[in-house]
């Protein structure tokens, strides 16, 4: 089986080029909905929301943001940027007063948007000033996906329904709903961002959380309803790609992270941002939840070569591994919840201890980039840069013996998902194909499910 594993490092590059630092240029009249609201929601909402209104000021909706906070100064006066408190707060040289507080100042182009918008009359161009910011912009649907694909679309993300009957695989601006036994495409779901990087099903199995965006222009997390054709809940719109998503086992929390290095915790029911964690200094590449009795831990990996563990929801840091030599791409906690397994460009999976942040050794695996990790009970699956999924059993503290590769002939796997009972694994490949393994079989063999998306001739 191992002979089928091809040496390939290109998969890692897909993530490497996912983000861009270029800002989008604008012209014409500034739109509150399209240009101001995303900045407020991304940079300000964390401290100025209904439940946590620093300085008595709230920005969760246009109506709220137009009212003054504790100072009594008007945030903006139409046509008069110089008298608008919000603008002074963005440009002041005094670091104690400058907003966003304790963070980099806004880019000059963003400050200019505020200035122009106020000068042009501070017009609200949305349907209802009391609507939440994140509900404004998303009312504009995403463009349609291609009707058919000229080239096979590499499958970077997919999920499997808990009964192992349906696969949802990410395409360009769409999800394919595929019968997980026959491989037949049953539905194409649309109104998604250009690139979809991460998918999770909520516990009710009726809703799916989808993260992605467009490099350098948009980051997004939305929750779509799989049964009914209702308006999606958009949790986040930000300036650059969202790369990682995780849902807590009880579906009470959704965590999202990406190119802006922030980790955001949402309540999927209200759609509200509850907490922002700013512990990484570069892209957040992976998130996974670990329930531990009464408490819940979020384990994270970043391009800043660190992996971390936080208590949810208070955000207390409970562990950090700072000694990795290269960017990290995936991490999971061990069954005892005291260690984590983390890896990435360093081409190994390191087991480290939350207590002291020290390495306790590495797993016996081929030296390849670590792209994705998943654990159920004591079974670990690791997708490596060789295009194979390596699976093995862990001890409580995360020590492991031999790993076995799941591989496909003449193709490289690029994503995978496992049913909650660990009996079925489905994977997507670089050539846009889907595969299935029945892991309860003594020697599981890949079943080819074909291409989910229509091909153009």
Q: What is the smallest separation between the CB atom of 39 and ligand HEC, expressed in angstroms? A: 7
User: How many CA atoms within 13 Å lie on the side-chain side of 39?
Assistant: 24
Q: Which is nearer to ligand HEC, 100 or 145 (CB)?
A: 100
Near ligand HEC by CB under 6 A: residue from 15, 33, 75, 138: 75
Residue among 122, 107, 111 at smallest CA distance from 31:
122
Q: Least separation, in Å, of the C-beta of 454 and ligand HEC?
A: 44
Query: Counting contacts by CB under 6 A, is residue 97 touching ligand HEC?
Result: yes
Binding map of ligand HEC across residues 27-46, x = CB under 6 A, - = no contact: ----------------xx-x
Query: How near is the Cβ of 110 to ligand HEC at its closest, in Å?
Result: 8
Q: Which stretch binds ligand HEC (CB under 6 A): 23-31, 81-89, 365-373, 444-452?
A: 81-89
Complex with ligand HEC: residue 68 or 396, whichever CB lies closer? 68
Of 32, 57, 354, 453, the residue at the interface with ligand HEC (CB under 6 A) is: 57
Nearer to ligand HEC, 86 or 332 (CB): 86
Determine if 387 is a binding residue for ligand HEC (CB under 6 A). Answer: no
327 neighbors 311 (Cβ within 8 angstroms)? no
Q: CB of residue 95 vs ligand HEC: minimum separation in angstroms?
A: 10
Per-residue contact flags (x/-) with ligand HEC for residues 278 to 297, judged by CB under 6 A: --------------------
Going through 43-133 in order, the beta strands assigned E by DSSP cover 48-49, 52-53
Q: Is 111 in the site for ligand HEC (CB under 6 A)?
A: no
Site string for ligand HEC, 300-339 (x = CB under 6 A): ----------------------------------------
Using CB under 6 A as the binding rule, whether residue 47 contacts ligand HEC is answered as yes
Could you give phi then psi for residue 118, rounded to 5 degrees?
-70, -45
Residue 92 interacting with ligand HEC (CB under 6 A): no
Q: Does 101 bind ligand HEC (CB under 6 A)?
A: yes
Q: How far is the CB of 40 from ligand HEC (least distance, A)?
A: 6
| One residue of 7, 20, 68, 186 binding ligand HEC per CB under 6 A | 68
For ligand HEC, give the closer residue by CB, 44 or 201: 44
User: Can residue 86 be called a binding residue for ligand HEC (CB under 6 A)?
Assistant: yes
Q: Which is closer to ligand HEC, CB of 158 or CB of 236?
A: 236
Q: How far is the CB of 36 from ligand HEC (least distance, A)?
A: 10
Closest CB to ligand HEC among residues 99, 155:
99
CB of 248 to ligand HEC, least distance (A): 24
Closest CA to 43 of 100, 87, 90, 88: 100
115 is an interface residue for ligand HEC by CB under 6 A: no
Q: Can you give the chain as a three-state secondary structure string?
A: CHHHCCCCCHHHHHHHCCCCCCCCCCCCCCCHHHHHHHHHHHHHCCCEECCEEHHHCCCCEHHHHCCCCCCCCCCCCCCCHHHCHHHHHHHCCCCCCCCCCCCCCCCHHHHHHHHHHHHCCCCCCCCCCCCEHHHHHHHCCCCCCCCCECCCCCCCCEEECCCCCEEEEECCCCEEEEECCCCCEEEEECCCCCEEEEEEECCCCCEEEEEEEECCCEEEEEEEECCCCCCCEEEEEECCCEEEEEECCCCCCEEEEECCCCEEEEECCCCEEEEEECCCCCCEEEEEEEEECCEEEEEEEECCCCEEEEEECCCCEEEEECCCCCCEEEEEECCCCCEEEEEECCCCCEEEECCCCCEEEECCCCCCCEEEEEEECCEEEEEECCCCEEEEEECCCCCECCCEEECCCCCCEEEEEECCCCCEEEEEECCCCEEEEECCCCCCCCEEEECCCCECC
Among 23, 69, 291, 444, binds ligand HEC (CB under 6 A): 69
The reply on whether position 85 binds ligand HEC by CB under 6 A is: yes
# binding residues, ligand HEC (CB under 6 A): 24
Interaction between residue 20 and ligand HEC (CB under 6 A): no
Query: How far apart (Å, rounded) are the C-alpha atoms in residues 233 and 424?
Result: 30
Q: Binding residue for ligand HEC (CB under 6 A) from 7, 71, 270, 440?
A: 71
Residue 214 and residue 23 in contact, taking contact as beta carbons nearer than 8 Å? no
Q: Which chain residues interact with ligand HEC by CB under 6 A?
A: 43-44, 46-48, 54-57, 68-71, 73, 75, 85-86, 89, 97, 99-102, 106
């Amino acid at each position: 089986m191992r002979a089928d594993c091809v040496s390939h490092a290109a998969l890692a590059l897909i993530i490497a080029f996912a983000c861009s630092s270029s800002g989008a240029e604008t012209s014409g009249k500034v739109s509150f909905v399209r240009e101001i609201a995303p900045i407020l929601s991304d940079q300000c909402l964390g401290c100025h929301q209904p439940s946590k209104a620093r300085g008595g000021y709230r920005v969760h909706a246009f109506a709220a943001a137009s009212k003054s906070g504790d100072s009594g100064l008007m945030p903006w006066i139409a046509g008069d940027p110089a008298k608008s408190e919000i603008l002074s707060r963005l440009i002041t040289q005094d670091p104690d007063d400058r907003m966003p507080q304790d963070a980099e100042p806004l880019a000059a182009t963003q400050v200019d948007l505020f200035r122009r918008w106020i000068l042009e009359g501070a017009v609200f161009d949305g349907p209802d000033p009391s609507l939440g910011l994140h509900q404004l912009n998303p009312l504009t649907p995403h463009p349609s996906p291609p009707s058919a694909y000229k080239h096979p679309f590499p499958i970077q993300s997919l999920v499997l329904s808990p009964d192992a009957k349906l696969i949802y695989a990410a395409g360009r601006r769409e999800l394919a709903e595929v019968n997980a036994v026959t491989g037949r495409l049953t539905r194409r779901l649309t109104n998604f961002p250009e690139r979809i990087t991460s998918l999770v099903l909520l516990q009710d199995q009726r809703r799916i959380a989808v993260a992605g965006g467009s490099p350098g222009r948009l980051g997004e997390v939305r929750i779509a309803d799989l049964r009914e054709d209702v308006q999606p809940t958009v949790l986040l719109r930000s300036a650059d790609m969202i790369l990682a998503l995780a849902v807590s086992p009880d579906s009470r929390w959704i965590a999202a992270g990406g190119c802006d290095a922030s980790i955001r915790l949402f309540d999927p029911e209200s759609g509200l941002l509850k907490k922002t964690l700013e512990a990484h200094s570069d892209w957040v590449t992976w998130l996974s939840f670990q329930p531990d009795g009464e408490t819940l831990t979020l384990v994270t990996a970043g391009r800043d070569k660190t992996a971390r563990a936080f208590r949810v929801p208070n955000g207390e840091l409970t562990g950090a591994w700072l000694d990795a030599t290269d960017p990290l791409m995936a991490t999971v906690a061990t069954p005892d919840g005291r260690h984590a397994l983390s890896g990435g460009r360093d081409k190994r999976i390191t087991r480290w201890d939350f207590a002291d942040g020290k390495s306790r050794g590495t797993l016996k695996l081929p030296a390849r980039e670590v792209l994705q990790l998943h654990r159920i009970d004591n079974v670990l699956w690791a997708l490596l840069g060789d295009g194979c999924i390596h699976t093995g059993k862990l001890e409580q503290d995360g020590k492991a013996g031999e790993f076995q590769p799941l591989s496909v002939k003449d193709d490289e796997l690029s994503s995978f998902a496992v049913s909650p009972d660990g009996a079925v694994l489905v994977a997507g490949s670089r050539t846009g194909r889907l595969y299935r393994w029945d892991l309860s079989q003594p020697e599981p063999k890949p079943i080819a499910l074909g291409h989910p998306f229509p091909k153009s001739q």
